[in-house]
Amino acid sequence: MSVPSEPEIPQETPQLRLLRRMVMALTAVMIGGVLLTFALIVIRLSDRTPTLPEEVELPDGARAQAVTIGPNWYGVVTDDNRILIFDKTTGKLRQTVEVE
């Protein structure tokens, strides 16, 4: 009887080694892409609501229908076909635009 020898470990061919490295690189790129996509979604959906004053004093008889915000102003569209532009810091009426 002969003594069993240790099993031989097959040598990795250069093509197989290249394929294994390419699969590992692809896996790392895919994980990075998923993490980047998740981070961008979180950043885009974060709460970045603009600040408005507590109260806006509209002229007599005017009721607000819509509000829009600019860099240093905000506008209120009223039900009597006017757009009232207010200063964001002082809250004073800057301009009135009649809508036909």
Mean pLDDT over each residue of the chain, to the nearest integer: 88
**What band does 45 get if pLDDT is binned at 50, 70 and 90?**
confident
User: Using an 8 Å Cβ cutoff, are 84 and 93 in contact?
Assistant: yes
Nearest to 94 by CA among 71, 80, 75: 75
Share of the chain above pLDDT 70, in %: 96
Q: Which pLDDT does position 3 carry in this prediction?
A: 67
Helices (H), 1-100: 14-44
